[in-house]
A and B are shown apart, each in its own frame.
Chain A
């Protein structure tokens, strides 16, 4: 059914359009003169007037949006007054650490959470199950930065195993150097993600385990591992993949904090720096980028259902 597929892909366009409008309106709905906000606190009146003209802030709102959106479509996100660069350049410069951190985090989270969730569902009510559920409530409650400092204190300061902060670009040092700087941040960031994925995995697998075909599989003498992996997990994959997609929002929030604590020069750090400098073009650019990535990942998740569940066809 390629029509459904097409519809699903097209359905992201209005969402992205609304996101663009919201991000655009963010600055315009603010009390005060947007030009003065963009120019910063120490700007001279001439500077503010120049910005007002440059951004077309003296024109009516729909016209402003047209200009801004036209620029957006051609990949022009504006220029950062603070960093003296175009926003696109800034993002290109900062995207590598964030991508590396996010990828490692997702890998760790899936590798830990899925087996734990399956085992917890397998022995529901057992010690592992209870420990996991306890851990997951804790994972949602302990703030990322508190966890980060606990890990830094133990692993870096007391044991001296890993560096406290910093980042080593891929290709500049050895691969191990690159990885060493990412291990702690990725573990920190993965905790809340593990909590989320493990919870959903447990719920989804435990539901499948009550199905008749699980009893059949056991009755015909399949080893328990095969029952759990091939029959239970495979049929519970759709909600698990869905939550991995939804959790990307958590991950993005976490990246902002984690990169600040560990001094990683990525997009999250850029967001905080831009906010502290009230560098509005950059804030807009980063929010747009993060939101679009989030929408696209969830589109990919929806489309991937076909791979996990042959009953679903597009």
Chain B
């Protein structure tokens, strides 16, 4: 009557459990895939800007002012030679090619985003490590950070750029400064929890120098959340740079940046909305891609954080 179950033929020991590599897990996440792909495309655009059918973004032609997207016109080079040119995105009130300016603007935005992220991570990590390991400096340093965080970031950036001569490096520093406290706080809180781990205790009891503990035992464990944080900082830096340039307090106006193109286009927005539209679309998609990439990275690298929000 009683039927015996068929014997289990799969030997669990010989089949290793399938565990995809980190790269594999990242690629399986749709957010990383989409965000990463868009970022890669933008990077290619930025690197190959001169070969994408663009002309020098500072060249202009008085006869080609305020052309609509797709119109034919002429562009004059530095030797005063005019040549026919198709204005894919139209032209601005100086007769410059918006397409070329937007494509070259990709460079500026990516440089600013990456440089700000790197700079604020560097200083945030240093200050956070100091604050988390050296008790005596913790109090004063965190009060200072509270103070910086109490001032709305964009106001610090605006004021700093206004005081210094506007250039790429001053804009990068000005945007990075208000981001530093957030990184510092993150690193400090990570350090405080990692410090309680048994392996750190073991290192301390073996007499490992503080410096080695900081950089060999604690720092590597903060990398995953820092990559995620860095991505978000990159997105917000690209946005802030565009806002500064748009308000006229950012990069020098002769540099082709998305914010600068829009700042110029806003004057005659009623008649020629394309001046604002094209750089705006590029800006929004770039920031969106970086943000989506950040969300995906957070889900995979930092599962604790993704549960919180």
* Chain A interface residues toward B at CB < 8 A: 14-16, 18-19, 21-23, 26-27, 30-31, 37, 137-138, 140-146, 149-150, 152-153, 157, 164, 199-200, 203, 249, 252-253, 256-257, 260-261, 271-272, 275-276, 278, 283, 286-287, 290-291, 294-295
Say yes or no: A146 contacts B163, CB within 8 Å: no
Say yes or no: A276 contacts B249, CB within 8 Å: yes
Contacts of B71 on A, CB cut-off 8 Å? none
Q: In whole angstroms, what is the CA distance A118 to B152 when docked?
A: 29
Say yes or no: B144 contacts A18, CB within 8 Å: yes
Say yes or no: B153 contacts A249, CB within 8 Å: yes
A143-B152 in contact given A18-B146, A149-B266 (Cβ < 8 Å)? no
Q: Which residue of B lies closest to A23 (CB)?
A: B151
Q: How many B residues face the partner with a CB closer than 8 A?
A: 44
A15-B266 in contact given A275-B249, A283-B162 (Cβ < 8 Å)? no
Can you list 30 A-B contacts (CB < 8 A)? A15-B147, A15-B150, A16-B150, A18-B146, A19-B150, A23-B151, A37-B163, A137-B295, A140-B291, A141-B235, A142-B288, A143-B283, A145-B243, A146-B284, A149-B266, A149-B276, A152-B269, A249-B152, A252-B154, A252-B155, A253-B154, A256-B154, A256-B247, A257-B247, A272-B249, A275-B159, A275-B161, A287-B156, A290-B152, A291-B150
Say yes or no: A18 contacts B266, CB within 8 Å: no
Say yes or no: A143 contacts B164, CB within 8 Å: no
A294-B284 in contact given A14-B143, A27-B163, A276-B249 (Cβ < 8 Å)? no
* Chain B interface residues toward A at CB < 8 A: 143-144, 146-148, 150-156, 158-164, 235, 239, 242-243, 246-249, 262, 266, 269-270, 273, 276-277, 280, 283-284, 287-288, 291-292, 295, 308-309
Contacts of A150 on B, CB cut-off 8 Å? 280
Q: Which among A23, A140, A142, A272 is the interface contact of B247 at CB below 8 angstroms?
A: A272
Say yes or no: B243 contacts A143, CB within 8 Å: yes
Contacts of A271 on B, CB cut-off 8 Å? 155, 158
Q: Which among B243, B284, B309 is the interface contact of A199 at CB below 8 angstroms?
A: B309
